[in-house]
Amino acid sequence: MKMSKISLPSTRLLFKLGLGFLATLLLFARIGYSYGQTNHSISDAILQGSIQIQASKLIDPNSSEKVQPGTPVQLSVIVENKGSQASPKGDIYLCYGFAKPLDKENGSILFQTEKQTFPSIDPGKSVIISFSTPHLLPSILDFVRNDWTLREYQAIAVLNGEEHLIGSLAMTFSAYYYPGMHKEFPTIISVPLP
């Protein structure tokens, strides 16, 4: 009988401690969320890019937009300013390489386009930038041998001499290539005040 009386208060104590711990976790989560949602100063432009891949010439005209290995493709990126200030002018290029944290490894980049200049982008506006560097999707053997599954197309904006990743696109395949998940990285660009 004494044992049941001893375990009852300890159960209540554990329940109260657990409830207190849960409340503390929720408080920290709320503080962390509000910290991440802080407003940026008015001198910030927030750029993000959406990479687009379009077949230049379909190998099989009956494939209804299915892209086969070896198909020539046209690459472009839609750059959008989500900030409250116009972005500075800059350069942008696309590359196909390992995602972070492997992006700086030797041999990471398999393909890179030319650099294109993009104008200042007003808040809420976007521009489409097309690249003329020819690009063929690899054969399935190359896809496996060169670890294309670990790589992704990356949109790199060069602003004020610094490179910023503003978007990426992974490729998946079965019998055809399919664009994987688009990832747009809102990147804060501080704009010097005049």
Report pLDDT for 42: 44
Q: Residue 170, SS3?
A: strand
- What does the DSSP 8-state code read for residue 67? B
Residue 127 CA neighbour count, 13 Å, CB half: 18
Look up the pTM and report it: 0.67
Report pLDDT for 158: 93
Digit-by-digit pLDDT tens for the chain (194 residues) are 455 455 556 778 888 888 888 888 877 777 765 555 455 444 588 899 999 988 887 656 665 566 777 778 899 999 999 888 888 899 999 998 888 888 788 888 888 899 999 999 999 999 999 999 888 877 777 777 777 777 889 999 998 888 999 999 887 766 566 666 667 777 777 665 55
Q: Report how far apart, in Å, the C-alpha atoms of 169 and of each of 18, 129, 166 are.
A: 43, 16, 11
Report pLDDT for 111: 86
Report pLDDT for 93: 95
Burial degree of 7 (CB within 10 A; 0-12, 13-18, 19+): exposed
CATH level 2 (architecture), domain 44-190:
Sandwich (2.60)
Burial degree of 167 (CB within 10 A; 0-12, 13-18, 19+): buried
Report pLDDT for 31: 77
- What does the DSSP 8-state code read for residue 43? T
Tell me the domain boundaries of the chain. Answer: 1-38, 44-190
Which backbone phi and psi does 46 adopt, to 5 degrees?
A: -120, 110
